[in-house]
Amino acid sequence: MEGVNTEKIIGYILLILGFAIIVYSSVNVLNVFQGRSQPYNLFSFDSISMDLSSLAGQALPSGEEINQTLVEKDLLNSPMNIMAHLMLMGFIASAGFKIAKIGVTLIRPIKVNLL
């Protein structure tokens, strides 16, 4: 296989691979924001609730506790998971950019002018 430049072949493969990684991460984030797919569940916080009977300073006559939920668990977990997913896909897209950049460096000829 004379005349075949393996650097250019590897460069085109890396360019296509990097571009595919960038497109995958972009489509994945778009699907999450449009509700077609769910983000990775990295966080699973409980609801934030408060015992209102402790605010009275003394026990209630009936002896019961009144718990009031301040923030639901879905309201906590959903934005956190979406942001974590967005950051993860941004990292993957930047890795795809680096791979494509190496591919472009291998494809283009390097010309050096001394004078």
Would you list the domain boundaries of the chain?
6-44+73-107
Please give the pLDDT value at position 42. Answer: 84
Which pLDDT score, from 0 to 100, does residue 63 have? Answer: 59
Q: What is the pLDDT of residue 79?
A: 87
Q: How many residues does the chain have?
A: 115
Dihedral in degrees, nearest 10, Cα atoms 79, 82, 84, 86: -140
Model confidence, pTM? 0.73
Mean pLDDT, contiguous 10-residue spans, the chain (115 residues)? 76 96 96 91 78 65 67 81 93 96 89 83
Apex CA 19: angle with CA 4 and CA 1, to 5°? 10
Instruction: Decide: residue 4, CB within 10 A, 0-12 exposed, 13-18 middle, 19+ buried.
Output: exposed
